[in-house]
Amino acid sequence: MEGSGPVAKAKKKRKSKFDPYYSEIYAKFEQNATTIRAVFMYFQNKYGEDSAFSNYDSFKSYVKKHNLNKVRGEYLKVHVRYENDPGDELQVDWVESLKMPLKSGEVIEYNIFTAVFGYSRYVMLIYSRDASDKIPNFADGRFGVHQ
C-alpha cells in the first residue's frame, strides 16, 4: 500500500441557527447603512434574548462568513463633506410626544430638541418632559451665532 496515509474526511456543512433568518438579515443590511450590532439588537428585540439571537459574537461571525456586511457597502461610500464658516449654519429639530416603554411596563413621554452646529459639528441635545419648556434662543449670541 504505497502512498496510503490518513484520508481526510469531507467536511459536512453545518447548519447555523441563523440560517432560517438569512433573507430577513440580508434585507436589514440592504435597507440602510447600519451596523452589525444594530441589526443584532433589532432581531434580539424582535425574537427575544432566548432565541437564536442570544450571542452577539456568533451573529457577527455569521454575518462576516456570509459577507452580509458587504451588502451595506453601497450605503457607506464616501461622500463630499459640506464645509461652513463659523456661525453660518445651525440645523435644529424639535420632536414632541415621543413614547418609550420601560422594562417595568411604564411608558414615559418626552420631547427632544437637537441642534447641530455647521462648522464644528457640535451636537446639542436637550431632553424635556414638558412641551412648554422653552428651546434655547440661539440669536442672542451665547453660542457664537453671528447677527
Would you state the pLDDT for residue 136? Answer: 60
Would you state the pLDDT for residue 4? Answer: 67
For residues 6, 10, 15, 19, the Cα torsion angle rounded to the nearest 10 degrees is 140
Give the span between the Cα atoms of 98 and 108, in whole angstroms: 8
Would you state the pLDDT for residue 131? Answer: 64
The pLDDT tens digits for 96-135 are 888 888 889 999 888 888 888 888 888 888 887 776 666 6
The pLDDT tens digits for 9-29 are 777 777 888 888 898 988 888
- The H or E element that residue 39 is part of is helix 36-47
Residue 145 confidence (pLDDT) above 50 = no
Residue 93 neighbours by CB distance under 10 Å = 9
State the pTM of this model: 0.45
Would you state the pLDDT for residue 147? Answer: 41
75 grid coordinates: 450605503
